[in-house]
Amino acid sequence: MKYTRLSKEQFEELHQEFINFLATQSITADEWATIKTNKPEVAEQELDVFSDLVWEGVLSKAKYLENISPQHMYLFHLAENQIELVGLKLKNEAVDLTTREGFSWLRENLMSDDVELFNANKDYSEDKQFNKFELIQQGSMITKGDLFKYFEKLIG
Protein backbone atom coordinates (compact mmCIF):
# COMPACT_ATOMS: atom_id res chain seq x y z
CA MET A 1 0.00 0.00 0.00
CA LYS A 2 1.42 3.32 -1.08
CA TYR A 3 -0.69 5.76 0.97
CA THR A 4 -3.02 5.06 3.89
CA ARG A 5 -6.23 3.12 3.94
CA LEU A 6 -9.37 5.19 3.80
CA SER A 7 -11.34 5.45 7.03
CA LYS A 8 -14.61 3.61 7.58
CA GLU A 9 -16.44 6.91 7.06
CA GLN A 10 -14.60 7.56 3.79
CA PHE A 11 -15.44 4.07 2.55
CA GLU A 12 -19.09 4.70 3.43
CA GLU A 13 -19.01 7.98 1.46
CA LEU A 14 -17.44 6.19 -1.49
CA HIS A 15 -19.69 3.11 -1.27
CA GLN A 16 -20.90 3.34 -4.88
CA GLU A 17 -17.39 3.96 -6.19
CA PHE A 18 -16.17 0.89 -4.28
CA ILE A 19 -18.95 -1.20 -5.82
CA ASN A 20 -17.88 0.05 -9.25
CA PHE A 21 -14.26 -0.77 -8.40
CA LEU A 22 -15.21 -4.34 -7.47
CA ALA A 23 -17.29 -4.62 -10.64
CA THR A 24 -14.27 -3.70 -12.77
CA GLN A 25 -12.67 -6.81 -11.28
CA SER A 26 -15.81 -8.88 -11.94
CA ILE A 27 -16.51 -9.24 -8.22
CA THR A 28 -20.21 -9.34 -7.41
CA ALA A 29 -21.78 -8.39 -4.06
CA ASP A 30 -22.19 -12.08 -3.18
CA GLU A 31 -18.58 -12.83 -4.10
CA TRP A 32 -17.42 -9.85 -2.01
CA ALA A 33 -19.33 -11.17 1.00
CA THR A 34 -17.68 -14.57 0.52
CA ILE A 35 -14.22 -13.02 0.14
CA LYS A 36 -14.66 -10.99 3.34
CA THR A 37 -15.66 -14.12 5.24
CA ASN A 38 -13.36 -16.75 3.76
CA LYS A 39 -10.37 -14.75 2.54
CA PRO A 40 -10.04 -11.69 4.78
CA GLU A 41 -6.47 -11.07 3.57
CA VAL A 42 -7.74 -10.75 -0.02
CA ALA A 43 -10.47 -8.36 1.17
CA GLU A 44 -7.81 -6.28 2.96
CA GLN A 45 -5.76 -6.13 -0.26
CA GLU A 46 -8.79 -4.94 -2.23
CA LEU A 47 -9.46 -2.20 0.34
CA ASP A 48 -5.82 -1.11 0.11
CA VAL A 49 -5.81 -1.03 -3.70
CA PHE A 50 -9.03 0.98 -3.73
CA SER A 51 -7.65 3.40 -1.12
CA ASP A 52 -4.53 3.97 -3.21
CA LEU A 53 -6.64 4.61 -6.32
CA VAL A 54 -8.75 7.18 -4.46
CA TRP A 55 -5.64 8.89 -3.07
CA GLU A 56 -4.04 9.00 -6.54
CA GLY A 57 -7.15 10.70 -7.92
CA VAL A 58 -7.38 13.21 -5.09
CA LEU A 59 -3.68 14.04 -5.15
CA SER A 60 -3.57 14.46 -8.93
CA LYS A 61 -6.35 17.09 -8.67
CA ALA A 62 -5.00 18.92 -5.61
CA LYS A 63 -3.52 22.31 -6.50
CA TYR A 64 -3.25 24.07 -3.11
CA LEU A 65 -2.62 23.01 0.48
CA GLU A 66 -2.68 24.95 3.74
CA ASN A 67 -1.11 24.08 7.06
CA ILE A 68 -2.03 26.58 9.76
CA SER A 69 -0.80 26.32 13.34
CA PRO A 70 -0.93 28.89 16.16
CA GLN A 71 2.35 30.58 15.15
CA HIS A 72 2.87 29.53 11.51
CA MET A 73 1.02 29.46 8.24
CA TYR A 74 2.34 27.36 5.38
CA LEU A 75 0.52 27.85 2.08
CA PHE A 76 1.47 25.56 -0.79
CA HIS A 77 0.83 25.78 -4.51
CA LEU A 78 1.29 22.35 -6.06
CA ALA A 79 2.58 23.56 -9.42
CA GLU A 80 3.42 21.32 -12.34
CA ASN A 81 7.14 20.90 -11.62
CA GLN A 82 7.58 22.14 -8.06
CA ILE A 83 5.92 22.96 -4.77
CA GLU A 84 5.74 26.71 -4.14
CA LEU A 85 5.53 27.83 -0.52
CA VAL A 86 4.37 31.08 0.95
CA GLY A 87 5.06 31.03 4.65
CA LEU A 88 4.21 33.25 7.54
CA LYS A 89 5.67 33.19 11.04
CA LEU A 90 4.47 35.18 14.02
CA LYS A 91 6.93 36.60 16.50
CA ASN A 92 4.11 37.51 18.89
CA GLU A 93 3.44 34.29 20.80
CA ALA A 94 0.25 35.68 22.35
CA VAL A 95 -1.48 35.40 18.96
CA ASP A 96 -3.01 32.13 17.74
CA LEU A 97 -3.65 31.97 13.99
CA THR A 98 -6.06 29.06 14.42
CA THR A 99 -8.59 31.34 16.12
CA ARG A 100 -10.83 34.02 14.64
CA GLU A 101 -9.21 36.59 16.94
CA GLY A 102 -5.73 35.56 15.84
CA PHE A 103 -6.65 35.86 12.19
CA SER A 104 -8.15 39.30 12.81
CA TRP A 105 -4.95 40.33 14.58
CA LEU A 106 -2.98 39.15 11.54
CA ARG A 107 -5.08 41.24 9.15
CA GLU A 108 -4.51 44.34 11.25
CA ASN A 109 -0.79 43.71 11.85
CA LEU A 110 0.28 42.06 8.62
CA MET A 111 3.00 44.57 7.87
CA SER A 112 4.31 44.83 11.43
CA ASP A 113 7.65 43.48 12.61
CA ASP A 114 5.74 40.76 14.47
CA VAL A 115 4.95 39.04 11.17
CA GLU A 116 7.60 37.42 9.00
CA LEU A 117 6.62 36.52 5.42
CA PHE A 118 8.76 34.29 3.22
CA ASN A 119 8.55 32.12 0.16
CA ALA A 120 10.41 29.14 -1.25
CA ASN A 121 10.21 26.57 -4.02
CA LYS A 122 11.07 22.89 -3.95
CA ASP A 123 11.23 20.48 -6.86
CA TYR A 124 9.23 17.28 -6.58
CA SER A 125 11.06 14.03 -6.01
CA GLU A 126 10.54 11.11 -8.38
CA ASP A 127 7.09 10.59 -6.82
CA LYS A 128 5.19 13.86 -7.13
CA GLN A 129 1.92 12.51 -5.68
CA PHE A 130 3.69 11.08 -2.64
CA ASN A 131 5.30 14.49 -1.97
CA LYS A 132 1.79 15.96 -1.84
CA PHE A 133 0.59 13.09 0.37
CA GLU A 134 3.42 13.72 2.85
CA LEU A 135 2.30 17.33 3.25
CA ILE A 136 -1.24 16.14 3.98
CA GLN A 137 0.10 13.61 6.49
CA GLN A 138 1.89 16.50 8.22
CA GLY A 139 -1.41 18.33 8.70
CA SER A 140 -2.02 20.21 5.45
CA MET A 141 -5.53 20.51 4.06
CA ILE A 142 -6.50 20.72 0.39
CA THR A 143 -7.92 24.17 -0.44
CA LYS A 144 -8.86 26.36 -3.37
CA GLY A 145 -5.76 28.48 -2.79
CA ASP A 146 -7.35 31.79 -1.82
CA LEU A 147 -4.89 32.46 1.02
CA PHE A 148 -1.91 31.40 -1.09
CA LYS A 149 -2.92 33.76 -3.91
CA TYR A 150 -3.51 36.64 -1.48
CA PHE A 151 -0.14 36.32 0.28
CA GLU A 152 1.72 35.60 -2.96
CA LYS A 153 0.55 39.01 -4.26
CA LEU A 154 1.79 40.66 -1.06
CA ILE A 155 5.30 39.29 -1.28
CA GLY A 156 5.48 38.84 -5.08
pLDDT grade for 155, boundaries at 50, 70 and 90: confident
**What pLDDT was estimated at residue 60?**
96
Domain ranges, ordered by start, for the chain = 8-61, 64-155
pTM: 0.88
pLDDT grade for 116, boundaries at 50, 70 and 90: very high
Q: What percent of the chain is predicted at pLDDT more than 70?
A: 99
- 66-99 burial, b for 16+ CB within 10 Å, e for fewer? bbbeebebbbbbbeeeebbbbbbebeeeebebee
pLDDT grade for 19, boundaries at 50, 70 and 90: very high
**What pLDDT was estimated at residue 21?**
96
Q: What is the DSSP string of 15-84?
A: HHHHHHHHHHTT--HHHHHHHHHH-HHHHHHHHHHHHHHHHHHHHHH--EEEEE-SSEEEEEEE-SSEEE
CA distance 102 to 107: 9
- pLDDT, tens only, 38-97: 999 999 999 999 999 999 999 999 999 999 999 999 999 999 999 999 999 999 999 999
